[in-house]
Structure formats: C-alpha cells, structure tokens
Amino acid sequence: MADLFHECGIAAIYHFGAGQSSLLTEPQELAPRERVSRMLPYMLLDIQNRGQLAAGITSYHPGQTELLRTRKDVGTVTEVFRMNHKEDFQSLMADHTSVAAIGHVRYATCGQDDRHYAQPFERSHLEKKKWFSFGFNGQLANYVELRNQIRQTGDFHLARETDTETLMHLLSQEIREQEDNKVDFVKLLGRLAPQLDGAYNIVFLNSLGDMFVSRDPLGFRPLCYAEREGFFAAASESVALSTLGFGRDEIKDLEPGHAVIIQDGEMRVERYAETPRKAHCFFEWIYFANVCSRLDDRSVYLARKTLGEELAAQEKVRPVVDSMDDVIVVPVPDTAKAAAEGMAFDLGVPCLEGLMRHRALGRTFIEGEGREEKARRKYIPLPEVLTGKKIFLVDDTIVRSTTMRVLIEQLKEKGGASEVHVRIACPPIVAPCFYGIDMSTMDELFAPEHLAIGEEMSPEAEDVMAQALGADSLRYLPRPSIANSVKRPAEDLCQACLTGQYPTPAGQKFYGACLQDFAAGANKEKNGPRQRKIEVDGEETPILPARL
C-alpha cells in the first residue's frame, strides 16, 4: 500500500417529503422524518476509508434555539460519536435528531491535531440565511492567492491556515450580496466557480433548512446521490447509499458542475457551471475508494481486478521465472487484493495472503517522521506461506518507496521468500498532486530519482529501480492501462501525477515551480520533515494549507 492518504469524505441526508419512507426503520419510537440524522454516523463509517483523523456532523433543528447543531472532533467516527458506548451514542444522537444533517470525515496533510480544524465548519449569524454549515472534499490549488486577496481586502482576518476557512469566507460573501431572504444557490455557486481552482465538492446546510450538495466543474472527486419517497442522501461514495437501502438504479453520479438543491420542501438538480473537460482522479478507483463502491458508473473492484489482469498480460510477454512452480501472488493489504487476485487467476497461480496488516496499529503514515520504523510494525509476514516461494508482490503504487523497501526486506528475512518480484498496478508517480492527495513535492517521490522528466519507463530503468528497492525485479503498468481499467477516456481523467499535465492553471503554475525546486536540489531530506514551501513569483509559498 502506498504511503499516501486522501483528504476527506462528505455525506448529507434529508427527509424533505411529508410522508413516511420505506428506508426509515429504526428506531421505531421516533417519528419517521426525525430518524434521518441518526443514519449519518453510519454513512460516515462507510466512507471512513477517506479519513480517520477527524469526523463531524451538523444537524438542522427548526423551532429550537440552536437552529444548527454541530459536533466534531479529532478521531474516527466511532470515537467522535462514542458508538462503542451505547448510552453515550444514544445521548449524542438524541441531541442531533432531526430531518436533515451533513457530515464529514478527514485526514490531515499538516496542521495541528485540533478539533477546530475538523469539519463541518459552522458560521453562526443573526440572519437565518447567513447562518450555515458546510463540509468540503478536495483542495483549492489557488488557496494562497485567495487567502492573500481576502487579507488585503477590508478589515478581514483568517484565523487558520486552511482553504476550508477561505471557502467559508467566500460563501459568506456571496450570500451577503444576495438581497432576497431565500438564497439562489445556482447563482452563488456560479459566481464562486470562476474564483476557485482545484477540487471542491461541498455539502451545505443553513438555518432555513436549505441544503445543497455540489460537485466541482471538472469532477475531480466522486459524489453520488439518491432519492426515494422524499428521502434524500448523498455521499462521496455509493457504498454509503447502498447500505441505507437504495438500489443500484436509484444511485446516481452527480455530474461535474451540477448541484442537488433542496429548498422549500422540493429537490432539484441544476447545472451551475460549464464543464470545459472532466478530470476524474484515477487514484479514486485504484486506491482511495471503498472496493464496494461504484464511481462514475464504474465498479472499483472491477477496475482493480482489470489492473491485475493487465499485470498478468505483461508477465506472459516478459516472464521473469522459468516455471510457475513454487510461485505465489501476494497482495499488499488491503487495497491491492483485487489486482492481485486478477493477476493470479490469469497466471494460474495461487493468490495467498502471506503478508498481514497489524490491525491494532491502524494507519501508520499520518505523521511525516519515522516512516520506516512504523512500516516495520505495520505488516507481519507469514513464513508458513512464504518460505521457499517465488513471490509476485502486488501493490497499487509506489510513492515514497519507504514501505516497499521494508516489505521486501521482511518478506525475505522474516518470511523466508526466495525471490520477491514487485508488480505495481499503476504507472510510476513522477509529479506532485495539488488537488487533495498528500504528495505535494518532487523530492518525496521515488520515480523521479530514476526517470528524467518526460522519460518513458523502460526495462532498464525498472531494473535500476528494482535494485534500489532490493527486489529481484520490478514492473509498472503503462499509462494506457489506467483508462482501460476504469473504462473512461484518458482525456476524462486527471493523470497529472503520471504525466505532469495539470488540468488547471494553478496546478500548472505550481508544477513549474516544483520542477525548478527539484532541479535545484532543494528539499532532499528523504527521512526528515517534508518541506511544503516553494518559491512562486518570487514569494515563498506553502504548497498545501493546514489540514485536519
């Protein structure tokens, strides 16, 4: 599993209809419409893979003093909502029982372990239309520019280094400029879109009971929704809607540049911005998403299985072992399992779990320091499975290489494997991401150390990289395999980290600065704290905002 992580996941739920819904079954002692918000923590559990550092919800309470009520904190969904403590959980849910709610889970790229960075962000106000809460999935590549514009305009102050607070200010500004009591969300989002560069899916709820969920015009991150009998739900991944009881035909992918709006007891889907092109992040299919999800009408499991089949096809063309005797395929837990199964089936060899993940440790790559030591504790090789075997070790990608080096060493020394042939179900990562994945500088990437910018992968380069990792051989997939596996045209995908071709102006600008920085030999402390500042237009600029 690659040493990288995602930003966050969002969810929303609303019973805007007057009648009962067949999807609402528990708890029976409550009126059907009031049971809606109690489902949100379970939806967040389904997308917990997208963020385990913080979680939160905001619920709507018409007729009460607190029209919006937010609970958020550092921790997993289970920890934040005390789900393992029945009485505590029931008490919390009683406080948030309502007809509508939004929720959020997230990781951090940097910043403090502070609940104030967790989402949703709530902005209180005396005027109802200006009192709102929202959650945000993505990253604004032009965050620094937006932050500076805000600070230089009027007597404004931003308390935290985060693009979420910047987005909250921009939302407030657009709402303030609308004169009617009812907010025109299509107009609001349409005015925001030209200002924002990057990935930004939003769930929004105000104290009038208005809700919208929106997907950015390029569609970087997935977002889906469903509705039945006046019961609406939306989430970053389809699995959260499936477990609510929605059928496959009911779950729809929200198109880029569109928003689902619930206002005055009615739901509508409207376009708020044109889509010049689509830029779906391919990493969502091969690594980030829950394997049970469908993203933009493509099964995550089948996409990963297809990647494994492509690995097998390469092996048949360029075999590295004389026979398949004593050969096994071993996945790096957990996201590489489907690819490993696809490869093993096509090769006609066993796929065995010779490497187990230490479940009690959880995620080990949240902090930037001590990666190698954490990686050694993270996985446990099984000598009973591995001893004397030639292993095809299948992983979804290599980013920083620390984990892979440790795994190869452990498989041979502790597991007793005779050979370890690494197979990566992805092309080499040669460029940073500025749209919400934690790899923002060139120096932290493994591949650019061995490939010149723009150079195609060759068998010779793979041999050199295998030697650097301590592997007997190394193979990556070619770039066309990605579009083939996700069943989308290559031009509809963001593959900037594979090609250096960024779909937005801010991404292109940052990449140019990163190339200069890398060429100058800056930020070369491979195992120390990673630098997140580069020089852009003569100013030292943080690449990523503080995250939690």
Q: What is the pLDDT, as a whole number, of residue 361?
A: 62
Strand-pair category, 54-60 with 100-106: antiparallel
The beta-carbon contacts of 301-306 under 8 Å, at least 24 apart in sequence, are: 301/338, 303/485, 303/486, 303/487, 304/335, 304/336, 304/337, 304/338, 304/339, 304/342, 304/396, 304/425, 304/485, 305/338, 305/339, 305/341, 305/342, 306/342, 306/484, 306/485
Residue 287: what pLDDT? Answer: 92
Q: Which of 8, 494, 497, 514 is catalytic?
A: 8
Nearest-Å Rg of the Cα atoms of the chain is 24
- The whole-chain average pLDDT of the chain stands at 88
> Tens digit of pLDDT for each residue in 419-436?
999 999 999 999 999 998
Kindly report, residue by residue over 361-406, the tens digit of the pLDDT: 654 334 444 667 777 888 999 999 999 999 999 999 999 899 999 9
Q: Report the C-alpha gap between 29 and 19 in whole angstroms.
A: 16
What is the predicted pLDDT for the residue at 246?
95
Check residue 533 and give its pLDDT: 54
Using CB atoms within 10 Å of the CB of residue 353, give its burial: 0 to 12 exposed, 13 to 18 middle, 19+ buried. middle
Please tell me the predicted confidence (pLDDT) of residue 189. 98
Cis peptide before 120 (omega within 30 of 0): yes
**Given CA atoms 317, 318, 321, 326 in this order, what sign does their dihedral have?**
negative
Size (the chain), residues: 548
Pinpoint the residues of the chain covered by CATH 3.40.50.2020.
Answer: 300-542
- 3-class SS of residue 289: coil
Q: Helix or strand or coil: residue 269?
A: strand
Stretches in the chain below the pLDDT threshold 50: 1-3, 27-31, 109-111, 363-369, 522-532, 545-548
Report CA-CA distances (Å) from 268 to 40, 251, 265, 334.
Answer: 22, 15, 10, 38
Instruction: Give the pLDDT score at 28.
Output: 44
CATH architecture designation of domain 8-138+199-276:
4-Layer Sandwich (3.60)
CB count in 10 Å sphere of residue 472: 20
Q: Tell me the whole-structure pTM to 2 decimals.
A: 0.91
Output DSSP code: residue 415.
Answer: T
Q: What residue ranges of the chain are covered by domains with CATH 3.60.20.10?
A: 8-138+199-276
- Report pLDDT for 372: 74
Q: What are phi and psi of 456, to 5 degrees?
A: -80, 150
Answer yes or no: 8 catalytic: yes
- Where b means 16+ CB within 10 Å and e means fewer, 377-399 reads ebbebbeebbeebbbbbbbbbbb
pLDDT at 111: 44
Which CATH architecture group holds 300-542?
3-Layer(aba) Sandwich (3.40)
Amino acid at 319: P
Q: What is the pLDDT of residues 262-272, one digit of tens each?
A: 999 999 999 99
Give residue 22's pLDDT: 63
Give the list of residues 6+ apart from residue 402 with CB closer than 8 angstroms, or none: 3, 371, 372, 375, 527
Q: What pLDDT is recorded for position 306?
A: 98
